[in-house]
Amino acid sequence: MRRRTDMRRVVIIGGGFTGTGVAIRLCASIPAALNITIIEPRSELGGGLAYGGNDPDHRVNGTHELLVLFPDDIGHFARWYDASGASEQDPDAQAASGVRYVRRSDVRRYLGETLQQALAENVHGSKVHHLRDRAVGVQRHDDELQIELASGGRVLSDLTILAFGGQRPSLPGAVSASAANHTEFIGDPFDSRAISAICRKSKVLLVGTGLTAADVVATLSRQGHRGPITAISRRGLVPQPQGDAPDVAALMQRLARPVPRFIERHGKGLSLLAAFRALRRDMAAATAEGRDLKAPFDEARDASGWLWPNFTEAEKRRFLRHLKPWYDVNRYRMVPQTGAAVAAMQDAGQLVFRVARLDGLEAKGDHLDARLVGRDRSVTREFFDTVINCTGPKTLSEAPFVSALCDQGLARRDSLGLGFDVDGLCRVVDENGKAQDGLWAFGLLTRGRFGDMTAIPQIAFRLHRSLPALGRVLANPETPSTHEVT
């Protein structure tokens, strides 16, 4: 047993928005000396998959005022954005509506600078070390965990926080080995070098029609791409555009409410069908009153943490299979700058969205032979010069570290395969169903519990609610944290 006077060792797995945000909040809020290690293979903290790139056309799909790290100081990012000079360096961030949609790389810069400020102002002597490595294994030793690294090293932890989330897209099952190894098949749409190397005359196929595909189109447009582009998905759904400028203060008040408005109107014990019908009624009322349909949708989204736990297992699976594509195109909206690039290519006839699924992809010399199946089950064969996998990031895989956590009985996957089982505090549940004070998870890994845990405000508010319990554990490790939040 270590002496209580030693610094508490905290290991955070993942250094994107969630992991870096956790480190910042711990340094700023926990009245104890912490020795924090963030295990993140990228060269910079704060980026992750979402904010790790430098493409100037990749923007956050929400106004900069929604980038809330501190729920009790919602204007923190906006002040930094102006004071840092980022606003002056990106005049195109401001849309015609007056709303600013910032580059994702600026979010990474904000998190890095805010972390340094939190450390400089920390009166308890907390430290943060960025360890450029990957966690691949874990062993329990009494009341601490030993994290095994890809480099062969080990890190000991008194409290471990799982904050990894989006991973690069999986290879579609229809892609043959020959196609996957073809120089013109791009399996990673975030590979800026591969995208920049595409010949401007190439005939391009995008597998996916969501925000990832829209980002690729925006990049190709900036590069002066002249060849035809086809984007396919099973339903052909395209992200909705951003609506009117939001009332950010009102939104924050909504998120901070003890009971969401949607739940106040319709109740918290709704089935999936009842919740869907309630949303349809709210949207019909908004239409009759001439209001934006996005407002009632957003209120239902804000209530997901209340609705989701009440759905049966069958209802959750039904949602993921049938309703999630519709939910996603309304949930993840296209910023005006990207929408303008997409619309221009569509109007010129250069970009076409099609309802089709990829049923096979083979390499044929310099080209890729795609077998496409339409909604009517008709089959077409087309040759493309370049094929880009835009199916979107996955959130949990059979990575060695994930398997190690489960094999050791320290965690168990949620029944839907979205992440790990956690309790209302975000403590990870072990194989026996017990929540552990020494192992926590935040962000995408907790979607199985909370339903929708993707946007920055949602992650930040969930972390904010868990901070008091985290503080009790770190300040008094012998005292279990039995209180839960919802």
What's the CA gap between 103 and 105, in Å, rounded?
A: 5
What's the CA gap between 357 and 137, in Å, rounded?
A: 37
- DSSP code string of 423-457: -TT-EEE-TTS-EEEEEEE-GGGGHHHHS---SHH
Q: Which amino acid, one-letter code, is at 210?
A: G
pLDDT for residue 169: 80
Q: Same domain, yes or no, for 154 and 17?
A: yes
Nearest alpha-carbon partner for 281 in 296, 267, 298, 303: 296
What's the CA gap between 78 and 62, in Å, rounded?
A: 13
pLDDT in tens, 98-115: 889 999 999 999 999 999
Residue 419 DSSP label: S
Give the domain range for residue 119. 8-167+395-475
Given 345, 364, 389, the domain boundary residue is 389
386-389 and 185-186 beta bridge pairing = parallel
Residue 358 in domain = yes
Q: Which residues pair with 380 in a beta bridge?
A: 372
Residue that the structure tokens 């606003």 belong to: 87
Q: Same domain, yes or no, for 441 and 310?
A: no
Q: Same domain, yes or no, for 306 and 447?
A: no
Residue 485 in domain = no
Residue 134 in domain = yes
Q: Same domain, yes or no, for 360 and 218?
A: yes
pLDDT for residue 243: 67
Residue that the structure tokens 């020959």 belong to: 178
Q: Is 257 helix (H, G, I), strand (E, B) or coil?
A: coil
Q: Which amino acid, one-letter code, is at 375?
A: R
Q: Same domain, yes or no, for 112 and 182?
A: no
What's the CA gap between 20 and 116, in Å, rounded?
A: 11
Nearest alpha-carbon partner for 428 in 455, 402, 453: 402
Element (H, E) at 373: strand 367-374
pLDDT for residue 435: 96
Residue 448 in domain = yes
How far, in whole angstroms, is CA 301 from its chain's centroid?
A: 15
Q: Which residues pair with 138 in a beta bridge?
A: 147
Residue 144 in domain = yes
The count of domains in the chain is: 3
Q: Which residues pair with 129 in a beta bridge?
A: 37
Provide the whole-model pTM. 0.90
Q: Same domain, yes or no, for 145 and 260?
A: no
Q: What CATH number corresponds to the domain at position 360? A: 3.50.50.60
pLDDT in tens, 280-309: 999 999 999 988 888 899 899 889 888 999
Residue 482 in domain = no
399, burial (CB in 10 Å: exposed 0-12, middle 13-18, buried 19+): middle
Tally helices (H) and strands (E) across the chain.
Answer: 19, 16
Residue 2 in domain = no
Q: Same domain, yes or no, for 230 and 379?
A: yes
Q: Same domain, yes or no, for 109 and 225?
A: no
What's the CA gap between 131 and 116, in Å, rounded?
A: 16
Q: Same domain, yes or no, for 220 and 365?
A: yes
What's the CA gap between 144 and 33, in Å, rounded?
A: 17
pLDDT for residue 1: 43
Q: Same domain, yes or no, for 19 and 151?
A: yes
Q: Same domain, yes or no, for 376 and 435?
A: no
Q: Same domain, yes or no, for 405 and 377?
A: no
Residue 193 in domain = yes
Tell me which residues of the chain have a pLDDT lower than 70.
1-5, 243-249, 251-252, 255, 394-398, 477-486
